[in-house]
């Protein structure tokens, strides 16, 4: 089985509650499936918790809520085989002081002022229209849209200056949208975010 490389879109260490994109790169093999797990430090031992179950998706969004020395493990296998391999990578998460947290929240909250949706309750096949309102002192921002799926956040639209999205419901389950935002000049992956919940009957 070929080797697997684990990469992160943010260098270690990062802060609690930051969104970190984990990617598994497999060389010379298509038709692979991947499972992502986090090793949480508990009393000098690691407790393993799944982040994203087996799927063809080779990346996932990770948002740790505790500080410590984590280990990320990706289990992988060919879709037609039960034989699996795994790769591991260490990643450090630091806590932040309360004053730093307040400053961070203030800095990020000024990007998105509000989100307007034309309805909060829908039926299957109905369209939901979303518009993101930027803070008054912000001119041009980039927006990225995600929908919460059964195995984590699934991308709907990558970063662009378009602040509107139309989403068509496909399942009779409550839905959740994640909208991420940043300035075009920013080196950060995300500067601000907001979630929107809606019901589907």
CB 198 within 8 A of CB 117: yes
- Kindly report the average pLDDT of the chain as a whole number: 86
- What is the span of the domain harbouring residue 20? 4-94
Predicted confidence at residue 51, as pLDDT, reads 94
Q: Is the pLDDT of residue 14 over 60?
A: yes
Structural domain tally of the chain? 2
pLDDT digits (tens, 9 = 90+) for 126-163: 999 999 999 887 889 999 999 988 778 889 999 999 99
pLDDT digits (tens, 9 = 90+) for 106-118: 454 578 889 999 9
Segment (H or E) for 9: none
Are residues 118 and 82 located together in one domain of the fold? no
- Determine the 3-state secondary structure of 168 from DSSP: strand
- DSSP secondary structure code for residue 136 in this structure: T
Are residues 52 and 76 located together in one domain of the fold? yes
Give the pLDDT band (50/70/90) at residue 1. low
């Amino acid at each position: 089985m070929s080797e697997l490389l684990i990469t992160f879109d943010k260098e270690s260490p990062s802060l609690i509650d930051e969104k970190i994109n984990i990617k598994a790169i497999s060389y010379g093999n298509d038709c692979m499936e991947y499972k992502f797990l986090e090793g949480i430090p508990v009393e000098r031992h690691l407790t393993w918790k799944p982040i994203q179950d087996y799927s063809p998706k080779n990346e996932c969004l990770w948002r740790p809520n505790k500080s410590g020395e984590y280990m990320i493990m990706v289990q992988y296998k060919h879709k037609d085989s039960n034989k699996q391999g795994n790769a591991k990578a260490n990643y450090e998460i630091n806590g932040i002081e309360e004053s730093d947290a307040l400053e961070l929240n203030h800095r990020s909250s000024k990007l998105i002022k509000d989100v307007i949706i034309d309805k909060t309750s829908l039926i299957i096949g109905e369209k939901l229209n979303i518009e993101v309102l930027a803070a008054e002192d912000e001119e041009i921002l980039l927006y990225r849209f995600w929908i919460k799926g059964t195995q984590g956040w699934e991308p709907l639209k990558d970063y662009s200056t378009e602040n509107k999205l139309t989403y068509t419901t496909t399942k009779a389950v409550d839905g959740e949208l994640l909208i991420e935002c940043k300035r075009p000049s920013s080196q950060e992956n995300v500067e601000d975010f907001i979630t929107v919940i809606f019901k589907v009957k």
